[in-house]
Amino acid sequence: MPLSLANMRRQYTRDGLDEARAPDDPLVLFGLWMQQARDTERAPVEANSMVLATVDAQGRPHCRVLLLKGFDETGFTFFGHYDSAKGRDLALNPWAAMTFFWPGLERQVRIEGPVQRLDPAVSDAYFQSRPLASRLGAWASPQSRALANRADLDARLADTQRRFAEQPVPRPEQWGGYCLRPERLEFWQGRADRLHDRLDYRCQEDGWQRSRLAP
């Protein structure tokens, strides 16, 4: 029997998103929503998980789920291989979009803007904070490249473990951080009957401009 998706839907019941109560600075609102997501979303949901979208040289979009590792007035940071598919996309077209979805709160946030690499010292510091197994994995994996099979990856990891058995594991040159500097943030709050609330923030020379979008 074929799987039917047409009638799968839920009725959203949370309170709305009112402009009168929304801060002028979208980063303040994002911080509040992220904290509430951390407090309410149930495992195995990771509140800082996001979908990152990039565009390749042919103009084709690509999406994947990553973890946000920090945010402040300069932007939103994440890490990965510079030679991966997303790294190659960003080297050619340094713009990206990220989306957070918190089903327990019936919320999502969309963020768009230019992306640049973090200072190597920042990437070094974060890399050393990772568990040893993750640091070894960064060396062992030729991310996004074709492998013969799982045994190929296991062999690469075993070689890496032997290589660094008696020495510290430094950050690979091809691995590091990125910062997306937001030019647009949209906050979406689910409402009944699909009449959702959407507040859109656009970065202007004199600050953030906020508007309401139709659902």
Give the CATH number of domain 19-131+168-212.
Answer: 2.30.110.10
Average pLDDT over residues 26-54: 92
Q: Any known ligand binding at 9?
A: yes
| pLDDT reported for residue 57 | 94
Take residue 114 and report the two structure tokens written for it: 């230019």
Residue 198 in marked binding region: yes
Q: 122 among the known binding-site residues?
A: no
Find out whether 134 is annotated in a ligand binding site. Answer: yes
CA distance 78 to 170: 18
pLDDT of residue 156 exceeding 90 = yes
pTM over 0.85: yes
Residue ranges covered by each domain of the chain:
19-131+168-212
Task: Tell whether residue 86 is among the known ligand binding residues.
Answer: yes
pLDDT tens track for 81-101: 999 999 999 999 999 999 999
10 is in an annotated binding site: yes
**Does 36 count as an annotated binding residue?**
no
67 has binding-site annotation:
yes
Residue 44 has pLDDT above 80, yes or no: no
Percent share of the chain, pLDDT over 90: 84
109, β-bridge pairs: 100, 187
Q: Which one, of 202, 198, 203, 200, lies nearest residue 211 by Cα? A: 200
Give the pLDDT of residue 1. Answer: 60
Which parts of 107-193 fold into alpha helices (H)?
120-129, 132-140, 150-163
Mean pLDDT, all residues of the chain: 94
Q: What is the DSSP letter of 2?
A: P
Q: Is 109 helix (H, G, I), strand (E, B) or coil?
A: strand
69 annotated to a ligand binding site: yes
Tokens of 160: 């890496």
Q: Tell me: is residue 12 an annotated ligand-binding position.
A: yes
